Amino acid sequence: MLDISKLTFGYGSAEPVLENVSFGVERGEFVCLIGPSGCGKSTLLRIVMGLAQARSGIFKLDVDRRDVGFLFQSNALLPWRTARENVALGLRARGATRQAAGVEADHWLESVGLAGLGERYPRELSGGQCKRVSIAQVLALKPQLLLMDEPFASLDAIVRRYITEDLLAWVESAQTTVLMVTHDLEEAASISDRVVMMSNGPRARVKATFDVPFGRPRDLEHVRESRGYASLVARLWGALSEEIHVPRRSAQPAPAALAA
Ligand SMILES: Nc1ncnc2c1ncn2[C@@H]1O[C@H](COP(=O)(O)OP(=O)(O)OP(=O)(O)O)[C@@H](O)[C@H]1O
Ligand SMILES: [Mg+2]
């Protein structure tokens, strides 16, 4: 569904952020994109969305742009619209009547665990509930390709786990193709089919790809207890830590002026 080959991109005339990036995503595949902070993962996603254009290389997207859904880390809900209206927006834009869109929105709100909360405004919902509204919003449009940029990063561990499980169940049943950026190696190792790891920037490229050896439908609890999972997480940590150079604290004493 997505084919990227030797893609190079830079902002303005600056040094390239991405250089010779090559990878693909098969129809129905769930791919996680990981890499050091600032290497260009969000930039790559923006290129896939059509919001930025590569300087050179091959970029092929075999799906209508209207069938591509986005889910971002930040809350993109309209504060002056209720949860139902927020979910209904995209459906209305596609020509659904107000009533039909409302009924459909309620269905999706129910399926993300927010039955009965359609009348609430975003300010009356918790962060996790707002995230569920955003998920309902994107799923209601039944995307063939779902692009996500650290969608769960701001959520606490428990809510994150529930939401991830729900989303995974939906993606599996609808056979949606997913490309998701995450910093969470355990998340990548448990939910995806393949992990694409980028090298450190500038001039970041694909450092390695890792096949995830678990089938579908997937029981995340079961996966996390398996030996294959632990060894995959260890391999991801090893490869990523080669790219991240944490500056060591200097052993030098502080200058006298600072120490005073
Ligand atoms: N609009 C912009 N103009 C110029 N440089 C930019 C712009 N947006 C991002 N950059 C630079 O491009 C590089 C890649 O940024 P990007 O946001 O894609 O990284 P990332 O891998 O998503 O990082 P993180 O994991 O922290 O979200 C960074 O060095 C960043 O400073
Ligand atoms: Mg980013």
Residue whose Cα lies nearest atom 2 of ligand 1: it is: 11
Which residues, by Cβ under 5 Å, contact ligand 2, an ion?
Answer: 42
- Residue 124, phi then psi, degrees to nearest 5: -95, 10
Whether this model's pTM surpasses 0.75: yes
Q: Does ligand 1 come within 6 angstroms of the Cβ of 118? A: no
Strands 2-9 vs 30-34: parallel, antiparallel or unpaired: unpaired
* pLDDT recorded at residue 245: 73
- Residues 141 and 91: their CA atoms lie apart, in Å, by 7
104, HSE (Cβ side, Cα atoms, 13 Å):
21
Q: Does ligand 1 come within 6 angstroms of the Cβ of 41? A: yes
Residue 89 pLDDT > 70: yes
- Residues 151 and 171: their CA atoms lie apart, in Å, by 15
Q: Does ligand 1 come within 6 angstroms of the Cβ of 43? A: yes
Residue 200 pLDDT > 90: yes
Q: pLDDT tens digits, residue range 71-82?
A: 887 878 999 999
* pLDDT recorded at residue 127: 86
Residue whose Cα lies nearest atom 28 of ligand 1: it is: 38
Nearest to 59 by CA among 101, 129, 3, 115: 3
Locate 13 and state its tokens: 């005339």
Residue 107 pLDDT > 90: yes
Q: Are 55 and 9 in contact, with CB atoms under 8 Å apart?
A: yes
Q: Does ligand 1 come within 6 angstroms of the Cβ of 40? A: yes
Residue 176 pLDDT > 70: yes
* pLDDT recorded at residue 170: 87
* pLDDT recorded at residue 128: 85
* pLDDT recorded at residue 2: 97
Residue 260 pLDDT > 90: no
Kind plus residue range of the DSSP H or E element containing 83: helix 83-93
Q: Are 196 and 31 in contact, with CB atoms under 8 Å apart?
A: yes
Cα 88 to averaged position of ligand 1 atoms, centre (Å)? 32
Residue whose CB lies within 8 A of the most ligand 1 atoms, among 13, 15, 17, for a mutation test: 17
* pLDDT recorded at residue 252: 60
For residue 237, what pLDDT band results from cuts at 50, 70 and 90?
very high
Q: Does ligand 1 come within 6 angstroms of the Cβ of 18? A: no
Q: Does ligand 1 come within 6 angstroms of the Cβ of 149? A: no
Query: How many C-beta atoms surround the C-beta of residue 149 within 10 A?
Result: 21
Number of H helices, E strands in the chain: 9, 9
Q: Determine the average pLDDT of the residues in 156-165.
A: 85
Q: Determine the average pLDDT of the residues in 208-216.
A: 96
Site of tokens 């923006």: 46
Strand order in the sheet with 194-198: 68-72, 145-149, 177-181, 30-34, 194-198, 206-211
- Residues 214 and 256: their CA atoms lie apart, in Å, by 57
Cα 117 to averaged position of ligand 1 atoms, centre (Å)? 36
Q: Determine the average pLDDT of the residues in 8-14.
A: 94
Locate 125 and state its tokens: 């919902």
Return the DSSP state at 234. Answer: H
Q: pLDDT tens digits, residue range 17-46?
A: 999 999 999 999 999 999 999 999 999 999
Q: Does ligand 1 come within 6 angstroms of the Cβ of 197? A: no
Sort residue 14 into left (φ over 0), alpha (ψ -120 to 50) or beta: beta
Ligand nearest to the CA of 52: 1
Locate 54 and state its tokens: 């590569």
Q: Determine the average pLDDT of the residues in 110-126.
A: 93
Mean pLDDT in the chain?
91
Residue whose Cα lies nearest atom 7 of ligand 1: it is: 11
